[in-house]
Amino acid sequence: MSSLASRFAGGRDYLAACTLGLPSRATVRAVRDDLDSAASGRPDVAAASRAVEDARAAYARLVHSPVSHVAIGSQTSVMTSLIAASVPDGAEVLCPEGDFASLVAPFAHAARGVRLRTVPLDDLADAICPDTWLVAFSLVQSATGEVADAAGIAAAAARAGARTLCDLTQAAGWLPVDATLFDATVCHAYKWLCCPRGVGFLTVTPEFARILRPVHAGWYSGDDPWSSCYGTGGTLAPDARRFDVSPAWQAFVGAAPALEMFADADITDLYAHTTGLAARFRAGLGLPEPQRPSAIVTWPDATGDALARLTARGVTASGRAGRARVAFHVFNDEGDVDRALRALGTIAPAAAAPALSYSI
């Protein structure tokens, strides 16, 4: 664990990767070097463009997707709205109740008679019916940390002939994911992947891509962006790059080393580390283990008292939907767990969880 954790300058008592990931030393160095070059009158656009492609390739490896299926973006809602724009008039879109607004709102406001139906996450697979055109859900729920039964949902959608869209924003970086299970996925990389804000990715199968309209097409959507800067933009890229938006160059300069770091890491060890810390924390609070292990722990906190106690003791956490929320990532260890429990007035039982040791 220490070799990967050492790539971060901080992280002690920071339990909010589900809100905002911390930049690695390499990301900080890359962004500073880029700023220094620009400030000296030598902005390196070619290097920034290479960083975009390095980031795209690293993300593809991380989520086990062909790189030709990966488009770059900047915001989850914008990437989702691309798909919402192609939902047939009057078709049904099925989502979990309480999922993140950036995934759900584009469909709620698609108009054209598009019908949005929501059900509890655990009922999602069973709720898919022949009228369902698309099932859109977050693999890990932002408000609760619940992990969806991705395989079960994908299988049920396939049986019904429905398409699938999965948001990987709260999953990629600690949970092993396979984007090829779904027709499309979206991910904003500023959380668990520790990238600068403004770096996102869309994966889409060639079959699904054929029915999507490139409503955000611009100069970077061309097969050769530097020759499609004017007029109609010329010929769009033949693969997922046709859905690219113009990249935030500096953000991608910082993202490339972060994504390469996570793509090279042993995700199985990272999963064991993060969920092990979360299990230790749940045991200390007497919370039940979820059906599927999660690196995010939430519990009722309608008054905000728990969050206030954590904050007063220097622990960075978050509150969402009337619940306190903590998250454990690569830069956290058992000490973070136990200090958070002490801040909440709970002494971690010695037998709550075994000592954790991983080779990340």
CB atoms within 10 A of CB 219: 17
pTM for this prediction: 0.94
Stretch 106-134: mean pLDDT: 97
* Per-residue model confidence (pLDDT) at position 1: 56
204: left (phi over 0), alpha (psi -120 to 50) or beta: beta
Whole-number pLDDT of residue 353? 43
Residue 352 clears pLDDT 50, i.e. is over it: no
Which residues have C-beta within 8 Å of that of residue 273, sequence separation ≥ 6? 1, 328, 330, 356, 358, 360
**If residue 274 lies in a helix (H) or strand (E), which one and from where to where?**
helix 267-285
Q: What is the side-by-side strand order in the sheet with 296-300?
A: 296-300, 323-327, 318-320
Instruction: State which CATH number among 1.10.357.10, 3.40.50.720, 3.40.640.10, 3.40.50.2300 fits the domain covering 44-264.
Output: 3.40.640.10
CA 290/CA 18 separation, integer angstroms: 17
Q: What is the pLDDT of residue 208?
A: 98
Instruction: State the average pLDDT over residues 60-64.
Output: 98
User: Tell me: the pLDDT tens digits for 215-231?
Assistant: 999 999 999 998 889 99
Is the pLDDT score of 213 beyond 70? yes
Q: What is the pLDDT of residues 255-286, one digit of tens each?
A: 999 999 999 999 999 999 999 999 999 999 99
pLDDT in tens, 135-158: 999 999 999 999 999 999 999 999
- CB 106, CB 99: distance < 8 Å: no
Going from N- to C-terminal start, the domains of the chain cover 2-22+266-343, 44-264
Where residue 84 falls (left for φ over 0; alpha for ψ -120 to 50; beta otherwise) is alpha
Q: How many CA atoms lie less than 13 Å away from 106 in the CB half-sphere? A: 20
Tell me which of 3.40.50.720, 3.40.190.10, 2.170.190.11, 3.90.1150.10 is the CATH number of domain 2-22+266-343.
Answer: 3.90.1150.10
- Enumerate the β-bridge partners of residue 298: 325
